[in-house]
Amino acid sequence: MPLLHFTVDSALLEELGERLVGKPPVALSELIKNSYDADANQVIVNIEPEKDRITVQDNGHGMDLGEFKDFWMRVGSPHKKRQKVSRSLKRPLTGSKGVGRLSVQLLAKEIYIQTVSDRNTRQKLRAYVKWEEAVNAGELSKATANYEIEELSKDTEHGTIIVLEGLYHNWNDKFIEDFAKEIWWLEPPFRSGFASAEDKQKAFQIKFISSEMEYVETFEWQIRAVMDIWYAKLTGKNENGNVKLSLEFAGEDPIIESYTIENCKLKNVDFEIRIYHLTHRQPFGLKVEEAREYLRTFGGIHIYDSGFHLPHYGTPDNDWLKIEWEHSKRGGASDLLPEEMQIPLGLQYIPTLRRVLGVVNVNTSKEPDLEIMITRDRLDESSSTFSNLVNTIRWAMHFYAMEEYRRTELRNNKQKIEPLKFQKVEDTLAKYQNELPKETYENIRADVRKATEEIDSSTESTLKQVTLLGSLATAGISSLAYQHELQKQFGIIKGIIKRLESVKVEDEDLRNDLIVLKEDLSSWVDRAMSTNALFSYLADTENIEEKERFSAKKIVDEIKEQVKFLARGVPIETSRIEKDLKLPNATLVEWGSILQNVFINAFNAMMDSDKKMIDVSSRSENGFHELLIQDTGVGVNLKDAESLFSPFVRKAFIPPERRALGYGGTGLGLTIVDMIAKNIECKASFVEPDTEFKTAFSLKWREKNE
């Protein structure tokens, strides 16, 4: 039987590059990640708009002809997935699909490559690709790159230079900013000399140059952004045992303090420690997850000796200051601070090393009693001078913990203060009555009354929401215990069913009764387990805590399956959800709560409808995305639809027989939906439905990167 070989259209080059990379800043970042994976410790990016050119140059291990053929010219090469770490420095590889190199076709019409491998530094490989010709070649196997090998007379520096010419896009400040956002996490926080293999593994400097100085300023501003999102900063200097300390909370004036380290032999040590609170949205467009991962990699308090990093210190796993140990005690008094600064539980606010970026600068050549070990990776920790160094930093950290305790308690106390009442403000205003024109006084008095009444109303509404949240939290805890107990009961009843199946009786009537009993029990277990599945997300801590950009289609289909037993045959159509649509960053529990509530409301609204159908679709326009859930129920009056999101508001009467079927509730469903939607930066509302539907629930959000 004759054989036919599969062929691949070369247009796949263009399709893959565009779909897998998408945007020019992301495409350029892929080349930087390739340099990182090639064990480079420096990459230079030069953008020259006037020459229609971008150059990327690194000092990585380069490529010989075999590697160029097998890896660079082979689309989808899985070698990174197999290797997992880089060749020499054992860095975790940033790519695994083998398509990053295709990103260059998004950037320019032509690409020139010059590379020297560290395996043969007397041979230079030059290659040239015209992307338009490659794409128009027909079959992918016919797409080519021109290359030549130059034999060199002497060894030369290994590395790779990539030149992109004939740029497809006009680069601007926004592109440069987005480019820096893609790669900032590759660079360590402190750039200095390096003293060990461990440092070389993490050492990676991105040097950005351009004829447009605004581009350079934008890049440097964004690439250093992580250093500027600190919550608090400690800066200190120890001179002969006398320490001057500055504690600065972001946006506030610094607190200046001085202290003495008794019997201190240190001559001159300085330090700077930045403390982070990585919650909610961060400035500069930094993603919380990336910032946390950055601190997991580079966090801790590092020691530098005359500019050279001592690699033993500074990883979050090395608790040389006993900070993690003190944090684990969950509070306590300081063994260093004076009595007047002590707070019994103050140390519960000492930060973990994964919330800290710090550097301590020493010069052992000028510190006769502070010696460096022969391995040059650490100090002699047995000396009293090293203890002086440790206590210098610990004192500062303890001082921060006490101040943070005071600030937190002050915030908590302010929240407990009785809401502002008009009478109190009026009494203060009355003091100035004779100094103000009568008309002005009355106008101010009326405005103050109106403002304080609004504050009281807002405060009352907030207190109701807090009370509601407390009740919901209690219900959530109870549901976990209830679910756990149900699982045990299901096991017991399944055991009873098995025993009923094994019972042998002669009496036919009794046998039939046992069969009916077994079927009833089986039916009940199936239904009870389906009900219990509604709470399945709550049983997994990851589903409660871990946020992710989930696929909209996947999540909707999953919730559709969970509520299937309540649908009672009502079809839920999801085919009109865009396949590539990603929901906003949220947990599975949050999405489960929103969609379960909306679906159950729709089931309830369709009880008396001749035609029962739910349709879930999506639409995107001008950077906004919308998930639309429509049904054929009784409909909603859009004029007062906003009130449906208030607690305990119901527009439809639910008779007891319907409640018995599992429909209806307390009027909290949409309140919960609205609260969660706001928390994940979505707008929940009712909108005009399509012709064949009566109700349309909308969940709308703006895509930040569009």
pLDDT of residue 161: 96
The Cβ of residue 120 has, within 10 Å, a number of other Cβ atoms equal to 16
CA distance 26 to 31: 9
- pLDDT tens digits along 59-104: 999 999 988 887 777 765 555 556 778 888 888 887 544 555 666 7
Question: What's the pTM value of the predicted model, to 2 decimals?
Answer: 0.50
- DSSP letters of 195-263? -SHHHHHH--EEEEEES-HHHHHHHHHHHTGGGG--SEEEEEEEETTEEEEEEEETTSPPEEEEEE-TT
* Dihedral angle computed from the Cα positions of residues 454, 459, 462 and 467, in that order, rounded to the nearest 10 degrees: -140
Element (H, E) at 266: none
Q: pLDDT class for 5, splitting at 50, 70, 90? A: very low
Q: What is the mean pLDDT of residues 511-525?
A: 66
Are 235 and 357 in contact by the 8 Å Cβ rule? The answer is no
Task: Please measure the distance between the N-terminal and C-terminal CA atoms of the chain and give it in whole angstroms.
Answer: 53
Q: Does domain 11-223 have CATH number 3.30.565.10?
A: yes
CA distance 60 to 149: 19
Q: What are the backbone dihedrals phi and psi of residue 343, each rounded to the nearest 5 degrees, phi first?
A: -130, 125
Q: Which two tokens mark 469?
A: 């949240």
| Statement: residue 477 has pLDDT above 70 | no
- pLDDT tens digits along 376-399: 778 999 999 999 999 999 999 999
| Statement: residue 621 has pLDDT above 90 | no
How much is the CA Rg of the chain, to the nearest whole Å? 33
CA distance 450 to 444: 10
Residue type, 211: S
The Cβ of residue 170 has, within 10 Å, a number of other Cβ atoms equal to 9
DSSP-based three-state secondary structure for 354:
helix
CA distance 511 to 521: 15
Q: Which two tokens mark 657?
A: 């027989």
CA distance 60 to 565: 59
Q: Which two tokens mark 468?
A: 């509601």
| Statement: residue 603 has pLDDT above 50 | yes
The mean predicted confidence, pLDDT, of the chain is 77
Least confident of 19-23, 196-200, 467-471: 467-471
Domain 11-223 shares a fold with domain 546-702: yes
Q: What are the backbone dihedrals phi and psi of residue 33, each rounded to the nearest 5 degrees, phi first?
A: -65, -35
Q: Does domain 546-702 have CATH number 3.90.550.10?
A: no
Report DSSP state, residue 607.
T
Are 109 and 146 in contact by the 8 Å Cβ rule? The answer is no
313 vs 239 pLDDT, higher one: 239
560 vs 57 pLDDT, higher one: 57
Structure-token match 């240190």, residue found: 266
Q: Where are the domains positioned within the chain?
A: 11-223, 226-414, 439-533, 546-702
Nearest-CA neighbor of 49 among 181, 166, 217? 166
